[in-house]
Structure formats: C-alpha cells, structure tokens
Amino acid sequence: MTKKLLLIDGNSIAFKAFYALYQSLDRFTNSSGLHTSAIYGFNRMLDKVLEEEKPTDVLVAFDAGKVTFRTKMYSDYKGGRAKTPTELSEQFPFLKELVAARGIKSYELPDYEADDIIGTLAKQAETAGDYQVVIVTGDRDLTQLTSDKTTVQVSKKGVTELETYTPEHVEKKLGVKPSQIIEIKGLKGDNSDNYPGVEKVGDKTALKLVQQFGTIDNLYDHIDEVSGKKLKEHLIHDEDQARRAKVLATINRDAPVTISLADLDYTGDDLDKLTDFYERMNFKSFLSKLGVDDQSSQEQLATIKCEVLTNKNLDELKQFQDEVSFHLEMSDENYHTADLLGFAIGQGEKWFVTNDVTLLKTPTIKDILTSSTIKKNVFDAKRTFVGLFRQSIELRNVDFDMLLVSYLLNTTNNSNDVGTVAKLHGFNNIKTDEEVYGKGAKRSIDTESQAFLDHLVHKAKAIDALHDAMFADLDKHNQTTLYRDIEIKIAFVLAKMEISGIKVQASTLEEMGSKFTERLSEIKQTIYQQAGEEFNIGSPKQLGTILFEKLRLPILKKTKTGYSTSVDVLEKLAPDAPIVQNVLNYRQISKLLSTYVDGLLKVIHKDDSKVHTRYLQTLTQTGRLSSVDPNLQNIPVRTEEGRLIRQAFIPSHPGWQIFSSDYSQIELRVLASITNDKNMQEAFREGEDIHATTARRIFGLKSNDEVTPELRRQAKAVNFGIVYGISDFGLSKNTGITRKQAHQFIQRYFEEYPGVKKYMEDIVEFARNHRYVETIAHRRRYLPDINSKSFNLRSFAERTAMNTPIQGSAADIIKIAMINMDEALKDMQTTMLLQVHDELIFEVPADELETVKTLIPKVMDSAIKLNVPLKVESHWGKTWYDAK
C-alpha cells in the first residue's frame, strides 16, 4: 500500500499564522496571558490538511536556531531581520506540545533549517518508492522540491488557504522547472534572506536568462551570447555572488538527520492530552470539535433565569419602564418574507421568552415596542423594525443596535449573527445560530424545543450585557454622533424604503424576455456555424477551447484556470474573427435575460407587484450600502439595450412619475474639500467642467475651450485614477496609454493639484501610524496590511487608505441627505424608493412634481457644508427609463 508522508515547515507556518492574526493579537490570549494566535492558526491549518490529505506519516520540522551552515558560509544570511516578537517566540514551546498532542512527531537539527530536514526526508521517501509526499509551508522557495511524487502546498493569505504546486503548476506559474528555481534565485538573490545575486537582475531578467541558458553554469559557459552590454558586465562582475546565492538557495537534501521515515507514523490525536491542552489555551471551538465535549459545551453556557411568556404573566413586563433588550427571531435572512418564530425580552436578571408571536400584538407588548419613552436595545434595528411592521407594530426609540455599533467599531467584523458578534466583544455565554440551528441543508429550527427558547434568551441577554461597553468603545472612537445622528436614523429610513418597494411591470419584462430569447437562439446558431461545432457558449472553459485552440486566436490574457475570455480580451479579438462579436452579443443578451428579466420576475411579490430589496447597512468596508434580493443598485444603464430594463420600473399609482436626483461628481468634490486643494476647489466654485479643467491643466492649455474630447476623456480617467489611489500601471492599463505617459500625467496632475498630492501622502502616513483611516463623519476602516512586508498587500492597503475617506465620505453625505429627506417629505405623498450610491429615486404624484423639483435637490445639496458646492441634477418621467 502506498504511504502518504506529510512534512510541515513549522516555523514558516507559525510565522504566517502569527502575522495573519496580528490584528487580533490581543484577542488570542489564554487566562495566564500567553498569546495563542500562532498556535491557533497552526492548528487550523493542521485540521484542514489532516482532513484533506489523510496522511499515514507526518512530521513537523522546526529551525534549530539562528546559526546554520548557511550563516557559516555567508555571515549576513538572513541578516538585518527584525527580532522575532516575544508574542510569537513565547508560543513555540506550546506549539511543540500541540504537535505532540495531535500524535505528530516534531524534529529539529542543529546547523540546519527546517527546509533541509524536509528536503532530506522527502528525498528519502522518494527513494524508498512507495511514498507520496505532501509538503506544507509558507515559503514558496520550497516549491523547488516538487516532483511527480511530491507536491508542495504554500499558504496564501492566512494559513488555511493553500496553493498546491506540482511540477506543472510551478512551470505554469513561474515559467521554469522546479529544479531551476535555484538558478533564478542565484541570479536575482533574495532580499528577505538578505543575500545578493547579480546587480540589476530581478525576476524578469533572471527568468529570461534561465529560460535561455537553463542553468547558471551553462550561462557562464556561454557568457558571450548574453545580449545587453551592461547586463553582461554585471553578470561577469557578480559571478561569485551568483554562485554563492544559488548554493544558499538550494535546499540541502542530504542533511544528517537522525530521525528515519519509520519513525514518522501518524497516530492521531491523543484525546486526553489534547483536551487538556485546548482547555489551557482557551480553545473553545477546537474543544467542541473534539466531540468529547458536545454535551459539556451545551452545559458550559451558564443558565439565564427566565420565564416563558404567556397571557398570564404578561403584566410582569410592565416593570420595564426605562429600557428593555428585545430579540425577534425569524426563519431566514429575508425579513420581508420570513416567518416570525419567537422573541425574548427583558433586562438585567429578568427575562421572558416565547415562541408565541401572537403575543406581540397584545397591548402590553405593543406599548413597550412602540413607546417613545422606553429605550429598546436590539440586534439589527432595521430587521426588527420590518418584522414588527408586518404585524402592524411600529418600533420606536431604539437606543442600542448591537449589529450597527459593532460594524461602526470595526467594519471587518461584519457578522449578522448575535452570538458571533457577542463573542467578538467578550460575551461568551452564547452560541451562534449555526451551532444551535445547524447550517446549509441541515439547518432546522425547532421552535418547540427548550434549546430554541434558551438561545433567544441568551441573545437578548448578550445585547443587554454588552451595550454599555460597546457604547463606551463608540465614544472612544469619537463615533457616537455618527451612530446617533446617522446610522441608527438611516436604519429606519431604509426600512421604510424597503417596505415601500418599487413596482415592476411583469408584462414589460416578459415581452423583453421573449425578444431576448429569440435573438439569443439566432446568435447561438450563427456561433455554432462559425465554430463548426456546438458547445456551451456560457462556459468560459469550452469557449476558450474553441477560440484559442480550434480557431487559434492569439492568447492575450490568462486566468488562474485557463484562457481569459473577458470583454476587454474579446473586444481586442473582435476584428480578427467575426465569431467574437457574436459571442460578445450573446454574452450581453444572456446576462440581461438571466439576471434582469428572469431574475427580477422571480422576486416580484404577487400581492403588490413590487420588488422589496434589502439594503445591507453593515457590509461594505467604506460605509456604502449594498442591495440584495434583488440588487437594485446595478440595474443596467450604460448600454441602450440594457437600459430598456428600466422601462419595467414604474410608479405604484397611475399618473405618478419616477423622479431621480443624483449628485454630480460627488467624489471629486469630496476630494477637493478634504484635500483643501485650491485649484480644484476653484474649478468647482466657478462651476467649471472638472474633467475639462483637469485636461487644460495637465496638458498645459490656455483655456478649457482648447480641450478636445479625447483630452477630456484622458483627464477624466486620471481623475478616476486619483480617487482609486492611482498607479501609472493601473492608469495605462485602463486607458490604453503607455505607462510612461501615464506616469507623466500623474506627475502633471500632482503639480497642478498640489493639495491632492500632499493629502495622498499624509493619509497614507496617517494610516501607517494609526492602522486605520476615517471619513468626514468618523467612519473608520482598519488597514492591518498597511505596514505589511508584502508589496502586494501593502500597496492595496495604501490605495485603500486613499480611496476610503473619499468613497466613505460621499456615503456619509448621501445618508445625511436621506435622513433629512425623510423629514422633508413627511407630510407629502412623494416617496423615496431607492438609493444608488450617489442617486436617490422617488415616486411623485403629479401635483407634487413642481415642489419636488426644487425641494429634493435642495435637501441633497445642503446635506453638508463642504469647501466646495454640491451639485444635484434631476430627471423624471413615467418610468425609471424615462427619468433621464
């Protein structure tokens, strides 16, 4: 029987796990103050890999110390590295204990690194014959060990996401054979291990050279064939360094290991030791996973004294005069349609719970919920409001919305589950819905069970228990105003908009649907003819085979899994082959049909012919809303064919109009305001066309009249780029200009708008120091990667630092406008229906049209006072399509 040997690079996985959880470092400590994050992450990786690979033999290899044969050979090897933080080094002894408790051997060898142990044992296993080898590491250099018998799994973000390298995958990804990785590293050196290769040689050049010459030896044998005078000089000058770097990069596969393959039997968890270990580490989730603990984890929850609420003891609720915590349970996430299942209510030590939702309508309870003097504490005010509204109960005076507060404190932790959020904030006497109800197909809620009632009480109790502490945190963040004046208020405005819904005429969609279906089958036949065979056009894989293998079209871009067939690629190919344009048309129409015709028809409510979206208020990282079920924030508009979909969106009363107002260039106005850039502010104050002004400035023209449409288009792209946190590469890719040109444009831009330049530098600096950025309304986004060593992660965080205050402040502004709008419209019939990021959509009776033409823009442009004016444009018509 073939054996499967799993070799784990202990140090590199521990490092990765530690930095992946760096942001939550303080959350991972046990009762004696030991940090446990790396142990936790390591164990998650173990769980996953053991489950997936089911190895027969396992070893975790560790580095023995700083001194190795490599440092003896080159004293600066791994020099200049920051000292391992004590928060990590203190975890290693326990990590080894964990490994042992899981029935796994660990091993280290003086003078050698973990890589060498792994390389040596992998070689032994390959020689022995009946082994399959899997290596798990955080270091991509180990992919040099891949072979037909050995795969290397390298952790990506975090440690549980692994990328599997086979020899084929190495070649595809790196462009060379596994054995040539050391040749590449020899030429370019390694910055993180602190050894040089050949001067001025990086990935690109190294790859080219290795592809041309195969090895460093061969390269120096044929040094005259190297093209490029400078390059040749550097190669000759640095030959010794290159040869040394290659040796340093080479994993030693004949290390004098004193452990043998026969010692590596994987015996499985030692339950006693492991349980004890998990308990000492406070690893609750791992404990419950052990199964030994299923009942005890149920009993672990301290019981909360509560009464089942009935008609008989209802009056006891009258004791709650100041505030109550309340949780309404529903059958699924769509609260517009979900069944109400039960509720819990109470405060302090007094709790009541029931699965009899008819009690909600009793005067006692209704009075509490609708009272404007009794404060309510809930989890998800909008959800609760809609659920109760369907029972004709209008929830008032919500003081604490735990979901909303948690989101404002840290947008990354956006769980919709009370238990998850409660634990996040240190309240552990609660389970998650998933633990109580199950997940996926197994999810079921037994409303008759005691467990159900208990769970509701624990939820309500969690809300009650956390509200002081979470409010205090909010205050520390300077976010109380954001919460009280914006977020909690907009929750109710959104609830009302969702309940209003927007009317969608099914017959209009159906007519469009049959036209689309007809055209689709025509195009399909043409495509089959042009391809010479039938295939699934909707499958990128099959389409790729047809276009790039059968028809031999040039491959312009690849994805992880094959050829890219995205629009930008197909548009470039369209002139070469007529089939491509047909595919593009097919794609467009089938998108319209499946997503917008069939998709919308599915969600029209029978009783009112309307769609009722749900705005997710606690999802985006910037403070924008998102819209689901259906998403009404991405209804087509850019192409005429798609735009026709909007004809199906109509007012809910005959003779009314759809009225739409949008902020013009709100993000650039926000940019002008927060950067305090005088030139950009002037453009907006003078009412100039900002893209034309930008064009005039960066191209050095005398007046905006000299700006051609093409120049304006380019300047517009630069303006967008700035908002997104620009790079010359990104700009050139997006606009088709050269990178050099893009670089010049950006430089010119920063010369002309020096305030913008300074702001971009300052905001990144702020993020580095504080690890977060803020919007005008103190909405906060954490950027844990801002100081990352990974260029990729760090750059992304830097762009985010530049973009989030802009996008997020624009989101703040429209939210304020919506709250004011709700008030301004309260005595009118005009109804606010939708928000699309910088645009509000209403339905308006004929006799109010004249009023709203001035009222709505007024409310929007006076939402906030910036250093530049806000501009609002309005359109209206008998359908959404006509409001243009």
CB of 788 to DNA, least distance (A): 12
Q: Determine how many CB atoms are found less than 10 A away from the CB of residue 439.
A: 10
Greatest Cα pair distance, the chain, in angstroms, is 98
Task: Answer yes or no: are the C-beta atoms of 7 and 146 closer than 8 Å.
Answer: no
Tokens of 486: 């914006």
Nearer Cβ to DNA, position 341 or 584? 584
CB of 299 to DNA, least distance (A): 29
CB of 384 to DNA, least distance (A): 20
Which of 192, 321, 529, 559 binds DNA (CB under 7 A)? It is 559
Q: How far apart are CA 482 and CA 322, in angstroms?
A: 24
Tokens of 694: 């930008």
Nearer Cβ to DNA, position 449 or 539? 539
Q: How far apart are CA 217 and CA 183, in angstroms?
A: 9
Judged by CB under 7 A, how many residues of this single chain contact DNA?
81
Q: Is 84 in the site for DNA (CB under 7 A)?
A: no
Please report how many Cα atoms fall inside a 13 Å half-sphere around the Cα of residue 353, on the Cβ side. Answer: 24
Which of 292, 637, 793, 849 binds DNA (CB under 7 A)? It is 637
CB of 850 to DNA, least distance (A): 26
502-504 and 649-650 strand pairing: antiparallel
φ/ψ of 26, rounded to 5, equals -75, -15
- Judged by CB under 7 A, the chain residues 691 through 720 that form the site for DNA are 717-718, 720
Q: Determine how many CB atoms are found less than 10 A away from the CB of residue 46.
A: 22
Q: Is 678 in the site for DNA (CB under 7 A)?
A: no
- Judged by CB under 7 A, the chain residues 798 through 857 that form the site for DNA are 799-800, 803-804, 807, 836-839
Q: Determine how many CB atoms are found less than 10 A away from the CB of residue 814.
A: 26
Task: Answer yes or no: are the C-beta atoms of 645 and 592 closer than 8 Å.
Answer: yes
CB of 54 to DNA, least distance (A): 17
Would you give the binding string for DNA spanning residues 478-517, x where CB under 7 A is met?
----------------------------------------
Nearer Cβ to DNA, position 91 or 804? 804
Q: Is 621 in the site for DNA (CB under 7 A)?
A: yes
Q: Is 198 in the site for DNA (CB under 7 A)?
A: no
Please tell me what DSSP assigns to residue 359. Answer: G
The crossing angle, in degrees rounded to 10, of helices 739-752 and 754-770 is: 100
- Judged by CB under 7 A, the chain residues 272 through 291 that form the site for DNA are none
Would you give the binding string for DNA spanning residues 723-742, x where CB under 7 A is met?
-xxxxxxxx-xxx-------
Residues near 551 by beta carbon (within 8 Å), at least 6 away in sequence: 531, 577, 579
- Let me know the angle formed at the C-alpha of 263 by 260 and 267, rounded to the nearest 5 degrees: 155
323-330 and 340-347 strand pairing: antiparallel
Q: How far apart are CA 794 and CA 772, in angstroms?
A: 13
Residues near 776 by beta carbon (within 8 Å), at least 6 away in sequence: 670, 674, 805, 809, 812, 813, 864
Which of 337, 416, 788, 795 binds DNA (CB under 7 A)? It is 795
Which of 620, 652, 679, 874 binds DNA (CB under 7 A)? It is 620
CB of 487 to DNA, least distance (A): 16
Which of 86, 373, 450, 536 binds DNA (CB under 7 A)? It is 536
- Judged by CB under 7 A, the chain residues 646 through 675 that form the site for DNA are 662
CB of 598 to DNA, least distance (A): 7
CB of 687 to DNA, least distance (A): 21
CB of 685 to DNA, least distance (A): 23
φ/ψ of 365, rounded to 5, equals -75, -45
Which of 212, 639, 676, 747 binds DNA (CB under 7 A)? It is 639
Long-range Cβ pairs for the range 579-587 (8 Å, 24+): 579/527, 579/530, 579/531, 579/547, 579/551, 580/547, 580/553, 582/523, 582/526, 582/527, 582/530, 583/527, 583/537, 583/543, 583/547, 585/523, 586/520, 586/523, 586/524, 586/527, 586/537, 587/537
Q: Is 617 in the site for DNA (CB under 7 A)?
A: no
Q: Classify 416 as helix, strand or coil.
A: coil
Q: Which stretch binds DNA (CB under 7 A): 121-129, 326-334, 562-570, 671-679?
A: 562-570
Q: How far apart are CA 822 and CA 819, in angstroms?
A: 5
Q: Determine how many CB atoms are found less than 10 A away from the CB of residue 434.
A: 14
CB of 857 to DNA, least distance (A): 16
CB of 247 to DNA, least distance (A): 22
CA-nearest of 154, 231, 146, 174 to 197 is: 231
Which of 627, 647, 657, 665 binds DNA (CB under 7 A)? It is 627
Cis peptide upstream of residue 654 (ω within 30 degrees of 0): no
φ/ψ of 564, rounded to 5, equals -80, 135
Nearer Cβ to DNA, position 160 or 300? 160
Q: Which stretch binds DNA (CB under 7 A): 42-50, 313-321, 509-517, 535-543?
A: 535-543
> Alpha carbon of 163 to those of 47, 189, 385, 699: distances in Å?
16, 24, 45, 46
Q: Which stretch binds DNA (CB under 7 A): 177-185, 202-210, 369-377, 681-689?
A: 202-210
Q: Is 404 in the site for DNA (CB under 7 A)?
A: no
- Judged by CB under 7 A, the chain residues 433 through 472 that form the site for DNA are 440
Q: Which stretch binds DNA (CB under 7 A): 453-461, 462-470, 565-573, 824-832?
A: 565-573
CB of 729 to DNA, least distance (A): 3
Q: How far apart are CA 611 and CA 588, in angstroms?
A: 24
- Judged by CB under 7 A, the chain residues 566 through 605 that form the site for DNA are 566-567, 570, 584, 587-588, 590-592, 594-595, 598-599, 602
Nearer Cβ to DNA, position 72 or 81? 81
CB of 366 to DNA, least distance (A): 33
Q: Is 629 in the site for DNA (CB under 7 A)?
A: yes
DSSP bridge pairs for 105: 59
CB of 83 to DNA, least distance (A): 23
350-354 and 502-504 strand pairing: unpaired
Nearer Cβ to DNA, position 215 or 788? 788
DSSP bridge pairs for 339: none
Nearer Cβ to DNA, position 450 or 561? 561
CB of 367 to DNA, least distance (A): 36
Nearer Cβ to DNA, position 91 or 565? 565
Q: Determine how many CB atoms are found less than 10 A away from the CB of residue 343.
A: 27
Q: Is 642 in the site for DNA (CB under 7 A)?
A: yes
Q: Is 203 in the site for DNA (CB under 7 A)?
A: yes
Residues near 725 by beta carbon (within 8 Å), at least 6 away in sequence: 760, 798, 799, 800, 801, 802, 803
CB of 350 to DNA, least distance (A): 38
Q: Which stretch binds DNA (CB under 7 A): 209-217, 263-271, 554-562, 676-684?
A: 554-562
Q: Classify 563 as helix, strand or coil.
A: strand
Nearer Cβ to DNA, position 299 or 533? 533
Q: Which residue matches tokens 């009480």?
A: 457
Q: Which stretch binds DNA (CB under 7 A): 200-208, 312-320, 517-525, 674-682?
A: 200-208
Which of 709, 791, 826, 827 binds DNA (CB under 7 A)? It is 791
Terminal Cα distance for the chain, rounded:
71
Nearer Cβ to DNA, position 36 or 565? 565
- Judged by CB under 7 A, the chain residues 333 through 372 that form the site for DNA are none
Q: Is 66 in the site for DNA (CB under 7 A)?
A: no
CB of 33 to DNA, least distance (A): 34
Q: How far apart are CA 404 and CA 425, in angstroms?
A: 13
Q: How far apart are CA 154 and CA 141, in angstroms?
A: 9
